[in-house]
């Protein structure tokens, strides 16, 4: 039950840290407040402030009942770990925790031999290397039954399986960047409210992404990268109605972007797929002509405002050729990468090289906007910028043949074009997103 704040409560809330620490004011104010009224005040304070406010039995009882506001509590030192250990009973309703390396001293990160207790089936080599380290019990975290956000960041000293880390019924946001933590996607079945899942560099993460279908009604974001044992077909997630972001990279997931239909991924705003998917990020086309169907598929997805990443021609393709050994300007390499461009509301794609300095002409997928349309001036302005780019491959809508390419290079070298000398080299971003 909540209560309106009276004058004394408002004074306390506005100057929480100083007021709470003043014993005299505690005698004047808190004796007049009930436990429920104190709870109503504590919800405006950080976990640290609530802990400092536990000056008497009534305030300690109020702290135990308080649903701690969504404020990050980062466990990055032994001191913070010890504080968390106290919070398991003093603030059991903590909602957000970040587990990090236990080596922070003020503003410095120092190498210390502290770790959490090994889990089930730990990596034996790591366990042997850390056998003499000071060990801390991580299972105490399971006391926070109202946890909604859990982040396990790089180098958090975990090794093995910890089933209790995935047993929080109210969990909505899970981030796992942990090299030696062993777990499986099927373990997420016990977190039915999960909305966002982020995993990176989890060499011991296993499972099939179809395991995520159990979260069909809640899942909004899935980011899994550099987790080579994660398998499945990305299309198994096509009918998740709330999924806004699907980012899969450097994992063993397969599929074909051309299988995406009009009724698939209806809420999607951003899509990145691994190289194992036909048309995925880093997928290498066997023929230049293969890119057209993929480009049109992504075009239809982009109409639903998804972001797209680069694809390229495979070195095994009969259409592929190498640049000459004497090439002294890498920016003149063949245009074997395909990206999407946009001018106003008009979309298209074009081929360009890996340095993004020499594109071919744009293959437009949309008609030119009408002159009386609201965005026509913006279209002309952006179109002018796009059409300024082609130089070496001007007039080519797809990569030239090997013979044509070498002729173009010879012509450039003979002309000694000042444009060639002055060209910006980069490096440019490797993943080009639609603007």
Which tens digits make up the pLDDT trace of 228-261? 999 999 999 999 999 999 999 999 999 998 898 8
Distance of CA 142 to the CA centre of its chain: 25
> Is residue 303 predicted with pLDDT exceeding 70?
no
> Residue 266's pLDDT is what?
86
Q: Please state, in angstroms and as integers, the Cα–Cα distance from residue 321 to each residue in 99, 232, 313, 317, following that order.
A: 49, 33, 10, 9
Half-sphere exposure of 80 (CA within 13 A, CB side): 18
Average pLDDT over residues 317-339: 75
> Residue 409's pLDDT is what?
85
> Is residue 127 predicted with pLDDT exceeding 90?
yes
Question: How is residue 262 written in tokens?
Answer: 């009009």
> Is residue 3 predicted with pLDDT exceeding 60?
no
> Is residue 273 predicted with pLDDT exceeding 60?
yes
Q: How confident is the model at residue 24 (pLDDT cuts 50, 70, 90)?
A: very low
In terms of Cα–Cα distance, which of 232, 183, 230, 173 is closest to 207? 230
Q: How confident is the model at residue 421 (pLDDT cuts 50, 70, 90)?
A: very low
Q: Please state, in angstroms and as integers, the Cα–Cα distance from residue 167 to each residue in 33, 146, 163, 417, following that order.
A: 36, 11, 7, 65
> Residue 311's pLDDT is what?
56
> Residue 326's pLDDT is what?
61
Q: Are 346 and 434 in contact (CB under 8 A)?
A: no
Q: How confident is the model at residue 434 (pLDDT cuts 50, 70, 90)?
A: very low
Does residue 365 sit in helix, strand or coil? coil
Q: How confident is the model at residue 17 (pLDDT cuts 50, 70, 90)?
A: very low
> Residue 316's pLDDT is what?
64
Question: How is residue 50 written in tokens?
Answer: 């609530």
Residue 96 has φ and ψ, to the nearest 5°, of -145, 125
In terms of Cα–Cα distance, which of 221, 179, 180, 214 is closest to 197? 221
Mean pLDDT (the chain) is 82
Burial class (CB in 10 A: 0-12, 13-18, 19+), 289: exposed
Q: How confident is the model at residue 280 (pLDDT cuts 50, 70, 90)?
A: confident
Residues forming a β-bridge with 359: 352
Q: Please state, in angstroms and as integers, the Cα–Cα distance from residue 409 to each residue in 61, 353, 356, 400, 413, following that order.
A: 79, 14, 17, 11, 6
> Residue 391's pLDDT is what?
81
When computed from its CA atoms, the radius of gyration of the chain, rounded to whole angstroms, is 29
In terms of Cα–Cα distance, which of 224, 282, 225, 227 is closest to 257? 282
pLDDT, tens only, 370-418:
999 888 999 999 998 888 876 888 899 999 998 899 888 888 777 754 4
pLDDT higher at 325 or 332: 332
pLDDT higher at 348 or 112: 348
Residue 31 has φ and ψ, to the nearest 5°, of -65, -25
Q: How confident is the model at residue 312 (pLDDT cuts 50, 70, 90)?
A: low
> Residue 21's pLDDT is what?
45
Q: Are 394 and 417 in contact (CB under 8 A)?
A: no
Q: Are 340 and 347 in contact (CB under 8 A)?
A: yes
> Residue 109's pLDDT is what?
59
> Residue 110's pLDDT is what?
61
Q: Are 246 and 269 in contact (CB under 8 A)?
A: no
To 5 degrees, how large is the angle CA 104–CA 109–CA 110?
95
How far, in Å, CA of 37 to CA of 35, rounded? Answer: 5
> Residue 59's pLDDT is what?
87
Average pLDDT over residues 141-161: 93
Average pLDDT over residues 51-68: 88
């Amino acid at each position: 039950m909540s209560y309106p704040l009276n004058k004394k409560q408002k004074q306390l809330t506005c100057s929480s840290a100083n007021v709470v620490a003043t014993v005299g004011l505690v005698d004047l104010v808190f004796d007049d407040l009930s436990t429920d009224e104190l709870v109503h005040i504590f919800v405006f304070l950080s976990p640290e402030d609530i802990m400092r406010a536990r000056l008497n039995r009534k305030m300690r009882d109020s702290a135990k009942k308080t649903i701690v506001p969504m404020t990050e509590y980062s466990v990055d030192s032994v001191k913070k770990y010890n504080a968390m250990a106290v919070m398991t009973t003093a603030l059991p309703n903590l909602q957000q925790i970040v587990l990090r390396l236990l080596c922070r001293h003020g503003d410095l990160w120092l190498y210390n031999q502290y770790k959490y207790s090994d889990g089930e089936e730990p990596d034996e080599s790591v366990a042997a290397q850390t056998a003499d380290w000071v060990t801390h019990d991580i299972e105490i975290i399971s006391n926070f039954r109202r946890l909604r956000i859990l982040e396990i960041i790089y180098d958090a000293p975990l090794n093995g399986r910890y089933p209790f880390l995935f047993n929080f019924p109210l969990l909505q946001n899970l981030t796992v960047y942990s090299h030696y933590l062993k777990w499986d996607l099927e373990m997420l079945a016990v977190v039915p409210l999960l909305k966002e899942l982020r995993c990176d560099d989890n060499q011991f993460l296993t499972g099939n992404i179809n395991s995520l279908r159990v979260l069909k009604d809640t899942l909004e974001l899935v980011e899994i990268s550099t987790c080579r044992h994660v398998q499945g077909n990305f299309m198994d997630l096509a009918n998740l109605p709330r999924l806004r972001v699907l980012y899969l990279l450097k994992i063993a997931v397969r599929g074909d972007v051309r299988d995406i239909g009009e009724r698939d991924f209806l809420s999607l705003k951003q899509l990145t797929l691994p190289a194992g998917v036909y048309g995925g990020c880093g997928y290498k086309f066997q023929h230049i002509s293969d890119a057209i169907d993929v480009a049109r598929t992504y075009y239809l997805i982009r109409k639903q405002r998804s972001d797209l990443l680069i694809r390229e021609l495979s070195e095994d393709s009969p259409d592929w050729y190498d640049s000459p050994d004497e090439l002294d300007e890498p920016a003149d390499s063949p245009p074997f990468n395909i990206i999407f461009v946009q001018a106003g509301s008009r979309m298209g794609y074009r081929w360009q090289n890996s340095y993004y300095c020499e594109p071919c002409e744009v293959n437009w997928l949309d008609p030119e906007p009408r002159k009386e349309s609201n965005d026509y001036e913006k279209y002309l302005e952006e179109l002018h910028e796009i059409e300024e780019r082609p130089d070496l491959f001007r007039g080519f809508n797809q990569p030239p043949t090997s013979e044509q390419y070498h002729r173009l290079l010879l012509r450039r070298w003979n002309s000694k074009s000042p444009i060639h000398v002055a060209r910006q080299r980069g490096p440019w971003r490797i993943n080009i997103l639609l603007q």
